[in-house]
Amino acid sequence: MELKVVRMKIPEGSNLILGQSHFIKTAEDLYEAVSGTAPRARFGLAFSEASGDCLVRLEGNDSDLLEAAKENSLALSCGHTFVILLREAFPINVLNAIKGLQEVCSIFCATANPLQAIVAETEQGRGIVGVVDGSSPKGVEEASEVEERRKLLRRFGYKL
């Protein structure tokens, strides 16, 4: 087995959701989950099959995000994984709908941070072992940072 690091490309102003699922209808169901819960979202998604034709299946409503999702999926080359790139919505807006899909097994991350996927390669194929999401902590927040965090959440409309 060989471990590889795959840097995911996240276009400016977008967020990425990386997950694992198990069935060919994943692409359509993910499309419906995102468009049904965040109708104004711009997105592209790629789902990599692990059997049969082993194709990357694409859905979405934004050609640039579709292309980036496809490139990320091909760079990963891991079966039964999906990449969703979102604009004009945050992952928090769609994650419960995605996690509620019967074919979704797990979510590795949802982020706008620099992202690396740790991929194991064997004679059979490739699989995601884990992710490195953003940077390591540099300290602990102080009272002023607590206040800034709370103001940010209110600006985004997540707290009253």
* Tens digits of residue pLDDT in 76-92: 999 999 999 999 999 99
CB atoms under 10 Å from CB of 13, counted, come to 10
CA distances from 30 to 10, 41, 85, 109, 159 (A): 19, 13, 12, 16, 27
Which residues are CB-contacts of 22 (< 8 A; sequence separation ≥ 6)? Answer: 80, 103, 105
- State the pLDDT at residue 79: 93
Residues of the chain with pLDDT > 90: what percent? 94
- State the pLDDT at residue 12: 97
C-alpha–C-alpha distance, residues 135 and 150, integer Å: 21
In order of their start, the domains of the chain are 2-155 (3.40.1520.10)
C-alpha–C-alpha distance, residues 156 and 154, integer Å: 5
